[in-house]
């Protein structure tokens, strides 16, 4: 079967633009906004937090067209994008846990070091602020 113009992109699950090029493409990073390093999973972080499109546009330095294409793709393919998004979140959590475990001894070693000379005043101020915050909880 031969596809012309936007039909090809629709058949491939991509979002076309007026000049016939896809805005949402699949790369090795996953579903990505063409011409950027921004994935739909980045957009999903803001969608999940219920931020408005203008905020998403500003935070990710996107055009209105790019944001609209991303949101439209997410809406049209919600189950697929949500499943991939959950996989990405799980992988990120596993990586965080891995590196936390790898660095646990290093963090303990750093925490056990005595404070540097001349930092006593700032450390006392930080301890007072921390105690004040803990007393409110």
Helices 40-48 and 64-76: angle between axes, nearest 10 degrees: 80
15: β partners: 24
- pTM given for the model: 0.62
Long-range contacts of the stretch 22-30 (C-beta < 8 A, 24+): 23/65, 23/66, 23/69, 23/70, 24/69, 24/70, 24/73, 30/84, 30/88
Is the pLDDT at 10 greater than 90, yes or no? no
State pLDDT tens for residues 47-83: 999 999 999 999 999 999 999 999 999 999 999 999 9
């Amino acid at each position: 079967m031969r596809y012309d113009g936007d039909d090809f992109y629709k058949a491939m699950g991509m979002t076309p633009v007026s000049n016939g090029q896809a805005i949402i493409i699949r790369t090795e990073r996953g579903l990505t906004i063409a011409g950027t390093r921004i994935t739909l999973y980045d957009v999903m972080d803001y969608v999940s937090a219920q931020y408005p499109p203008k905020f998403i546009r500003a935070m990710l330095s996107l055009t209105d067209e790019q944001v609209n294409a991303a949101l439209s793709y997410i809406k049209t393919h919600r189950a697929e994008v949500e499943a991939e998004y959950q996989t990405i979140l799980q992988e990120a959590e596993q990586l965080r846990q891995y590196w936390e475990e790898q660095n646990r001894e290093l963090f303990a070693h750093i925490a056990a070091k005595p404070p540097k000379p001349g930092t006593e005043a700032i450390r006392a101020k930080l301890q007072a602020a921390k105690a004040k915050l803990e007393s409110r909880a």
